């Protein structure tokens, strides 16, 4: 079968590129640079992004004779830079960094890949290095305000480069650009995903054999779809589900899960109350990665304890609802960067995977594909399209702290930030806490900043978008911006741990905010974050993060009506323990959807 090879340089979006090509009707296959020679029937090549600098000594390379090559090659982000260097171009590192939405101007008349689209385009950037010089037989086909060479093409129409990511949904005409590339490679559309449900069910049957299946059931759509697949594959009587109530669930969630599953006719489901055990294990723990590791390990320990109670004469396999973004952010390829370790990728799980004791039937799918599969399996729409919820639950939405005063001096950065903010009639402060982000395919752990307008009449989402992008691109110490509707007074950092009373307060705030936003279809997920910051009234502060996304690999924030947002905040602040409520205005990248 003719195919387009996606060369994996460790980027966060490698599988997303492959999927987009398949969506356009051509078979695609991911290959590591060192295995490239083993791939046959290639009609086109795409170099993926990656977290490294092309100029680094240990950077990924590929053994490909570009001077005698006749196959069209498209480089994306890192691939754009690598390809340029391979043909004689130059790469620079500097201040021209871009993360999130960026405007480019295209030469759509003289460009093969950018033809038939408007000259001004909104695209998705995530890079530090950039191409500074091209060989004579190349031409620039797009530029941004910060980067002159945002796209290029060779005059012989063999080599193409995009500094931006056409594969993410936020690049408006990205699919059209990829379609233009495919047209150069082949006119044969040979790929159509038929009987996808049946193929996954058959695969589970083969993997399971005569063994029983045990599903670690979180209650989210991923594990729900995995459970239904398993039941249709081996029968209800051969599937045993364990739901561990960690104490980090949302309000009434475990009870609602059982009610839903009872209506669906699911059997053999056991709920384990492990709240006290989890709180004891996590007592005093503040580091995000350490929290995730403990949660994942304890999850496996509890599951193993349950397994030991099962009949000794039966063999079992564990089933997880792992999806592709979980494996990518955990650093699944040789040179991809770890953004955060997901609970289903801790060491204990990795060991069981190597032993062949775990089935992950949907591990190559993205969230929107999982939802489509759920509908195909006949699951209720309301369950399939409920907001995603992370495996570690509210534990990663409490930003824990064991300090009582700021540890970093950010005075200079704050002054520089306010110079930028003044252009937008805004002011702000850098917060004495940190959150996880992803910039240029690397994990970041930097400060958020809270900003506000100097006058209410100055508010506009256009200004907020421009401001967020500019501040984060210019300041290395900041990877996330949050908005306050009112000027922020003194915020004092204090100790905050995973304790029941804090989690109960977060549950209440989360429940109110979800109820107020559940009818807004554009909001794909609505994390609520508890901060270790108290306002002048000694009340804890919170962040609401309504995000718009399809596949969790990229995301935007929802532009809520300011009056409605004010009403929501007023409703939440009726609770006597709730302080300031902020609104996260960070895209992904540079900020991950969750704060930890």
165 given a catalytic annotation: yes
Distance CA 366, CA 110 (A): 35
Matching residue, tokens 């991911």: 30
77 given a catalytic annotation: yes
Find out whether 149 and 162 touch, Cβ atoms under 8 Å: no
244's CB contacts (< 8 A; 6+ apart) are 216, 271, 272, 274, 299, 302, 303
Q: Which two tokens stand for residue 440?
A: 């240029």
Helix axis angle, 221-234 relative to 196-208, nearest 10°?
A: 70
Planar angle of CA 501, 504, 509, nearest 5 degrees: 130
Distance CA 535, CA 491 (A): 5
Distance CA 20, CA 193 (A): 13
91's CB contacts (< 8 A; 6+ apart) are 53, 54, 55, 81, 84, 85, 129, 130, 131, 132
457 given a catalytic annotation: no
Catalytic residue among 80, 165, 446, 447: 165
Q: Which two tokens stand for residue 356?
A: 């062949």
Q: How far is CA 328 from CA 159, 340, 552, in A?
A: 28, 9, 11
Neighbours of 277 (CB within 10 A): 16
Catalytic residue among 98, 153, 167, 329: 167
Could you tell me which of 167, 186, 216 has the C-alpha nearest to residue 23? Answer: 167
**What's the distance, Cα to Cα, between the start and end of the chain in Å?**
42
Distance CA 52, CA 334 (A): 12
Catalytic residue among 77, 400, 541, 548: 77
Could you tell me which of 158, 143, 150, 159 has the C-alpha nearest to residue 127? Answer: 150
Catalytic center residues: 77, 165, 167
């Amino acid at each position: 079968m003719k195919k387009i090879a996606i060369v994996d340089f460790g980027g966060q979006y490698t599988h997303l590129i492959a999927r987009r090509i398949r969506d356009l009707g051509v078979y695609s296959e991911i290959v590591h640079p060192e295995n490239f020679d083993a791939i046959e029937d290639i009609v086109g090549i795409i170099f993926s992004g990656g977290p490294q600098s092309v100029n680094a000594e240990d950077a990924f390379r590929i053994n490909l004779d570009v001077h005698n090559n006749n196959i069209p090659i498209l480089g994306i982000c890192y691939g754009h830079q690598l390809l340029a260097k391979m043909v004689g171009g130059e790469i620079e590192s500097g201040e021209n960094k871009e993360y999130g939405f960026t405007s480019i101007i295209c030469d759509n008349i003289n460009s093969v890949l950018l033809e038939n689209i408007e000259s001004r385009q909104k695209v998705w950037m995530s890079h530090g290095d950039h191409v500074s010089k091209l060989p004579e037989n190349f031409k620039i086909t797009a530029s941004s305000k910060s980067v002159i060479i945002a796209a290029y093409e060779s005059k012989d129409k063999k080599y193409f480069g995009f500094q931006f990511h056409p594969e993410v949904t936020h690049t408006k005409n990205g699919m059209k650009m990829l379609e233009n590339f495919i047209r150069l490679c082949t006119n044969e559309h040979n790929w159509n995903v038929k009987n996808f449900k049946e193929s996954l069910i058959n695969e589970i049957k083969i993997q399971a054999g005569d063994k029983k299946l045990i599903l670690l059931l979180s209650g989210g759509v991923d594990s729900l779809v995995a459970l239904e697949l398993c039941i249709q594959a081996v029968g209800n009587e051969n599937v045993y589900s364990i739901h561990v109530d960690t104490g980090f669930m949302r309000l009434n969630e475990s009870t609602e899960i059982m009610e839903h599953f009872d209506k669906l006719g699911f059997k053999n489901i056991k709920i384990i109350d492990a709240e006290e055990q989890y709180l004891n294990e996590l007592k005093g723990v503040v580091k995000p990665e350490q929290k995730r590791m403990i949660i994942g390990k304890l999850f496996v320990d509890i599951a193993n304890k349950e397994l030991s109670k099962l009949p000794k004469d039966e063999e079992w396999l564990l089933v997880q609802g792992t999806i592709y973004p979980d494996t990518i952010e955990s650093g699944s390829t040789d040179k991809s960067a770890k953004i955060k370790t997901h609970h289903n990728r801790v060491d204990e799980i990795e060991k069981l995977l190597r032993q062949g004791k775990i089935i992950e039937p949907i591990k190559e799918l993205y969230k929107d594909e999982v939802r489509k599969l759920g509908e195909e399996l006949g699951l209720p729409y309301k369950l399939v399209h409920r907001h995603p919820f992370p495996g570690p639950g509210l534990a990663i939405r409490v930003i824990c702290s064991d300090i009582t005063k700021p540890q970093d001096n950010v005075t200079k950065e704050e002054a520089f930030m306010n110079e930028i903010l003044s252009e937008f009639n805004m002011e702000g402060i850098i917060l004495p806490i940190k959150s996880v982000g992803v910039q240029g395919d690397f994990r970041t752990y930097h400060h958020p900043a809270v900003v506000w307008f100097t006058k209410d009449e100055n508010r506009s989402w256009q200004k907020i978008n421009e401001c967020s992008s500019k501040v984060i691109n210019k300041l290395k110490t900041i990877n996330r911006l949050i908005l306050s509707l009112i000027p922020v007074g003194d915020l004092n950092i204090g100790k905050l741990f995973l304790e029941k009373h804090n989690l109960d307060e977060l549950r209440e705030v989360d429940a109110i905010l979800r109820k107020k936003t559940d009818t807004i279809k554009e909001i794909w997920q609505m994390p609520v974050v508890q901060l270790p910051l108290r306002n002048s009234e000694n009340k804890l502060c919170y962040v609401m993060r309504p995000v718009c996304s399809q596949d969790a690999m990229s995301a935007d924030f929802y532009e809520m009506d300011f009056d409605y947002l004010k009403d929501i905040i007023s409703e939440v602040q009726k609770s006597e323990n709730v302080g300031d409520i902020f609104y996260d205005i960070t895209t992904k990248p540079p900020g991950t959807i969750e704060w930890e």
